[in-house]
Every structure is written in structure tokens, then in C-alpha cells.
């Protein structure tokens, strides 16, 4: 385990997995017993939207599709149009190699008067500020961009106050969530992320414990290993249906 854990780049999904179920983290990232979630129409729609959004911000060309994808893209073109003078960088992967190793895959980074992080959510649930303002994704994405992303801005140092993160769901186009960043939050995130990674690295193999939430077990892909029966598909469980796209980052070494 020591060799694997030392080489591991921690993503927000890896850290979130550990906080939900330590044993699931061990199985997926240390034992490497990983297999993707079964494809569902919702997951395929999320993948298609992310791919089309990437093409738009790379080429500037708008594509037409039947609904629901077509309507989602129309909402995107209205919400975040290309603008002169700004630099649009879709699907950017950023890694940090220091005392800790972090990786994140950003749906879109826009360099303008400030540095904007956009993350697309394509599930049927509205974006909840109470969840996302302190989620592991928010903490990792903003922290990593400040700590290791200065190369994006022509070598200019990115300060916390320069960063704005936006969560946006094309199914609810008029309800974006913008989250500012501060020096205080950056220091808090640095301490929290470093502490969590240190805890994971120092945890004995046999002390990666199962989740305390039975619903997490019910929808877990490792249920056959832990409970002798497969989990169930439950799109209402607290998860992000666009994660199949984000899992591209899960090549951790």
C-alpha cells in the first residue's frame, strides 16, 4: 500500500469517496478494484453535454440537436457566450506535485478580468448553495487553481480573490451559483486538504472502515464484495450524474 499511496494523485472524487466510505476508497484507489458505473440515459446525456460544450469553447461553433440535449446547449450558448478578449480553456486537467499530490479536471476555465471556474451539472436536481459552498469539489478546485495554476494566466500569480467558481445546470439556466474565494478560505482549505491526505496516508490497511450511511452501501458498486449482493440504482441518492465525465481524471498515478 505504501508505494501506491505515495504515488496517488488525490482528486476531489477520491477525497469525497474517503469521507463517505473509507473501505470504498481502499478498494477503488489502493486495491484498484475499479469499474465504472453502468451507463444510464442520464449519464449518457451528461457525457454528451460535456463533449458538446468542449467543442463549442474550442471552435466557437454552435451545434443543433433534438431535445433534451439541444435545449441544454441553447441555454449554454446564452449563459456563457464567447467574448472578445477572454481566454476560454475547456476540459483542463491540473496537477500539483508538492508535499501532497492533487489533480482536478475543470469543465471550463475562463481568463478575463478574473479567473472563472465553470462546472456543469446535468442532473435533475437544482444546485444547492448549502451543499456546494463547502463541498470537497469546491475546496479542491479553487485551492488547486491558486496553488498550482499560475501558468494559465501568462505567469501572473493567481490570488484567492482573483478566483470565482460557478456551478451551472442547463436544466435550470437562470440559477447559477457563483462562489467567491478569499485568503482566509484558501488557508482553511490548504489545512483541511493537507490534514485529510495525511490521515489517509497514515491509516493502517485494516482500519479503512465501512460507511456509516446504509444508503451509501445500497448504491455502492462494491456491495457484492461487502454484502454479497449487488447495489441498486438510485438517482435520488446524493450524487452527481455527470461524474462519469469527471471520472476521466481518475487515472491517478
Encode pLDDT of 25-71 as tens digits.
999 999 988 776 678 899 999 999 999 999 999 999 999 999 999 99
**Which set of grid coordinates corresponds to residue 84?**
472578445
Q: Report whether pLDDT(244) > 70.
A: no
106: pLDDT strictly greater than 80: yes
pLDDT(237) > 90: no
pLDDT score recorded for residue 223: 84
Confidence of residue 98 (pLDDT cuts 50, 70, 90): confident
41-45, 136-140, 154-158, 239-243: lowest mean pLDDT where? Answer: 239-243
Total-model pTM: 0.89
Residue 229 confidence (pLDDT):
73
Other C-beta atoms lying within 10 Å of the C-beta of residue 105: 18
| Domain at 122, CATH number | 3.90.320
CA dihedral over 178, 162, 49, 33, signed as positive or negative: negative
pLDDT given for residue 116 in this prediction? 98
Q: b or e along 70-93 (b: 16 or more beta carbons within 10 Å of the residue's beta carbon)?
A: eebbbbbeeebeeeeeeebebbee
pLDDT at 159: 96
Q: Which domain holds residue 22?
A: 2-249
Mean pLDDT of the chain: 88
The top-scoring range by mean pLDDT among 107-116, 143-152, 237-246 is 107-116
What's the pLDDT tens digit per position in 123-132? 999 999 999 9
- What pLDDT was estimated at residue 74? 98
Residues contacting residue 23 through CB under 8 Å, at least 6 positions apart: 208, 209, 210, 211, 222, 226
The three cell numbers of residue 246 are 469527471
Q: How many structural domains comprise the chain?
A: 1
Among 27-31, 110-114, 234-238, whose mean pLDDT is lowest?
A: 234-238
Amino acid at each position: 500500500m505504501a508505494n501506491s499511496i505515495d504515488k496517488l494523485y488525490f482528486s476531489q472524487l477520491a477525497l469525497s469517496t474517503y469521507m463517505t466510505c473509507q473501505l470504498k476508497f481502499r478498494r477503488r484507489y489502493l486495491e484498484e478494484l475499479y469499474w465504472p458505473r453502468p451507463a444510464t440515459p442520464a449519464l449518457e446525456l451528461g457525457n454528451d453535454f460535456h463533449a458538446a460544450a468542449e467543442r463549442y469553447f474550442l471552435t466557437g461553433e454552435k451545434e443543433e440537436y433534438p431535445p433534451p440535449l439541444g435545449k441544454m446547449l441553447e441555454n449554454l450558448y446564452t449563459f456563457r457566450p464567447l467574448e472578445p478578449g477572454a481566454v476560454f480553456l475547456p476540459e483542463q486537467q491540473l496537477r500539483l506535485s508538492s508535499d501532497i499530490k492533487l489533480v482536478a479536471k475543470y469543465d471550463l476555465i475562463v481568463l478575463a478580468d478574473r479567473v472563472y471556474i465553470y462546472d456543469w451539472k446535468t442532473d435533475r436536481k437544482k444546485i444547492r448553495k448549502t451543499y456546494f459552498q463547502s463541498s470537497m469539489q469546491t475546496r479542491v478546485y479553487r485551492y488547486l487553481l491558486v496553488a498550482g495554476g499560475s501558468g494559465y494566466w501568462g505567469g501572473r500569480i493567481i490570488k484567492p480573490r482573483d478566483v470565482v467558481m460557478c456551478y451551472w445546470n442547463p436544466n435550470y439556466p437562470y440559477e447559477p451559483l457563483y462562489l467567491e474565494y478569499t485568503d482566509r478560505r484558501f488557508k482553511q482549505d490548504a489545512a483541511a486538504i493537507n490534514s485529510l491526505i495525511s490521515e489517509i496516508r497514515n491509516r493502517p490497511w485494516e482500519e479503512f472502515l465501512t460507511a456509516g450511511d446504509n444508503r451509501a452501501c445500497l448504491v455502492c458498486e462494491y456491495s457484492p464484495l461487502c454484502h454479497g449482493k449487488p447495489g441498486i440504482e438510485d438517482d435520488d441518492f446524493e450524487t452527481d450524474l455527470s461524474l462519469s465525465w469527471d471520472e476521466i481524471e481518475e487515472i491517478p498515478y
